[in-house]
Amino acid sequence: MLTFTSISLLVLAFVKGSSASDAKRGLAFADTSDPSDISLAENTQVSWVYDWGVTAPSYLADSGITYIPMQWGASGVETFASAVTAQGAKTILGFNEPDMASQSNIEPATAASLWMEYIQPLKAQGVTLGGPAVTNGPTGTPWLAQFLGNCTSCDIDFMPLHWYGEGVGNFYNYIWSFHGEFSAYPLWVTEFASTSPDTPDVESFLNASIAYLDSLDWIKGYAWFAFYVSRIVKLFPNVN
Ligand SMILES: *[C@@H]1O[C@H](CO)[C@@H](O)[C@H](O)[C@H]1NC(C)=O
Ligand SMILES: *[C@@H]1O[C@H](CO)[C@@H](O)[C@H](O)[C@H]1NC(C)=O
């Protein structure tokens, strides 16, 4: 729901954990952040990164962390598959917040036809497809239901989702409800954050929610919004 220019709480915890959770943790690496920040995520639990773009800037491509291309909106969708193939990407993310006028803003029926023409063919090449990522606003899950209603031949491997709000209880309720409605899909929470203005609140939210996401077997990925080291170091002095 929030854009990466409008949020002020930009943190991510690095807590070493079991290998079972290793593949889940990713970075939503906004392009306004310091490229050198990425080096702090090397050799941690972080295994994937995206920046809402199609091709990685060199500091992401060289990080050793898997870059996941995203087809953000309708624009440029015709050339997405060739860009994905050229970089040898094994996983992609679909449209970003298509239910929001201020984000990629695509009608479900249009998104479904673009998907079938330009994105679905990647699957036959062995690429894992992450679907459109809707907001947790009132237009979010209804948009996704209409998209899927139009895209009966879509073969999507996992469904991303976004959440902003306050309180872990609200967050957990939302992901469980989403899981109930779209139970055919493993989920990746590709943007989430506590919007509380209170730093200790945000820290405890992050602490609790990451452990919780690690514990759920139907959550296959998550990325806090967003990764900026100045905030991380302040909240988590022992970044590892
Ligand atoms: C297809 O999407 C349109 C909006 O683009 C929606 O009105 C319609 O209900 C959807 N069809 C199904 C079967 O969900
Ligand atoms: C976060 O979790 C760690 C490890 O479980 C704990 O040591 C720390 O006190 C927690 N911080 C907060 C703010 O909950």
The answer, yes or no, to whether any atom of ligand 1 lies below 6 A from the CB of 149, is yes
Rounded distance from Cα 167 to ligand 1 centre (Å): 33
What is the residue with the minimal CA distance to atom 2 of ligand 2? 207
| Nearest ligand, measured from the Cα of 13 | 2
Give pLDDT, residue 109: 98
- The answer for 224, left when phi > 0, alpha when psi is -120 to 50, beta otherwise, is beta
- Would 224 be classed as within a structural domain? yes
Mean pLDDT check: name the lowest of 44-48, 74-78, 87-91: 44-48
Tokens of 98: 């298509």
Residues 151-208: pLDDT tens digits? 999 999 999 999 999 999 999 999 999 999 999 999 999 999 898 888 888 889 988 9
| Nearest ligand, measured from the Cα of 199 | 2
Task: Give the span between the Cα atoms of 183 and 201, in whole angstroms.
Answer: 31
Tokens of 191: 């943007």
The answer, yes or no, to whether any atom of ligand 2 lies below 6 A from the CB of 47, is no
Per the structure, the complete domain to which residue 211 belongs is given by: 19-235
- Would 6 be classed as within a structural domain? no
Q: What is the pTM of this model?
A: 0.88
What is the residue with the minimal CA distance to atom 1 of ligand 2? 207
The answer, yes or no, to whether any atom of ligand 1 lies below 6 A from the CB of 146, is yes
**Total of domains in the chain:** 1
Tokens of 102: 């201020």
Residue 54 burial (C-beta neighbours within 10 Å; 0-12, 13-18, 19+): middle
- Would 13 be classed as within a structural domain? no
- Would 208 be classed as within a structural domain? yes
Task: Give the span between the Cα atoms of 93 and 130, in whole angstroms.
Answer: 5
Task: Give the span between the Cα atoms of 159 and 183, in whole angstroms.
Answer: 10
What is the residue with the minimal CA distance to atom 6 of ligand 2? 207
Name the pairing type of β-strands 159-165 and 91-93. Answer: unpaired
Q: Which residues pair with 96 in a beta bridge?
A: 133
Q: What mean pLDDT is predicted for residues 14-19?
A: 42
Give pLDDT, residue 8: 30
- Strand locations in the chain (E): 26-28, 48-50, 66-67, 91-93, 128-130, 159-165, 187-194, 219-224
The answer, yes or no, to whether any atom of ligand 1 lies below 6 A from the CB of 130, is no
Q: What mean pLDDT is predicted for residues 83-112?
A: 97
| Nearest ligand, measured from the Cα of 200 | 2
User: Which residue in this structure is represented by tokens 């872990």?
Assistant: 168
Looking at the CA of residue 207, tell me the nearest atom of ligand 2: 1
The answer, yes or no, to whether any atom of ligand 2 lies below 6 A from the CB of 201, is no
Report the side by side order of strands in the sheet with 66-67.
Answer: 26-28, 48-50, 66-67
- Would 27 be classed as within a structural domain? yes
Read off the amino acid at residue 149. Answer: G
* Predicted confidence (pLDDT) at residue 69 exceeds the cutoff of 90: yes
CATH of the domain at 136: 3.20.20.80
Residues 205-229: pLDDT tens digits? 988 999 999 999 999 999 988 776 5
Contact (Cβ atoms closer than 8 angstroms) between residue 143 and residue 171: no
- Would 7 be classed as within a structural domain? no
Give pLDDT, residue 230: 54
Residue 96 burial (C-beta neighbours within 10 Å; 0-12, 13-18, 19+): buried
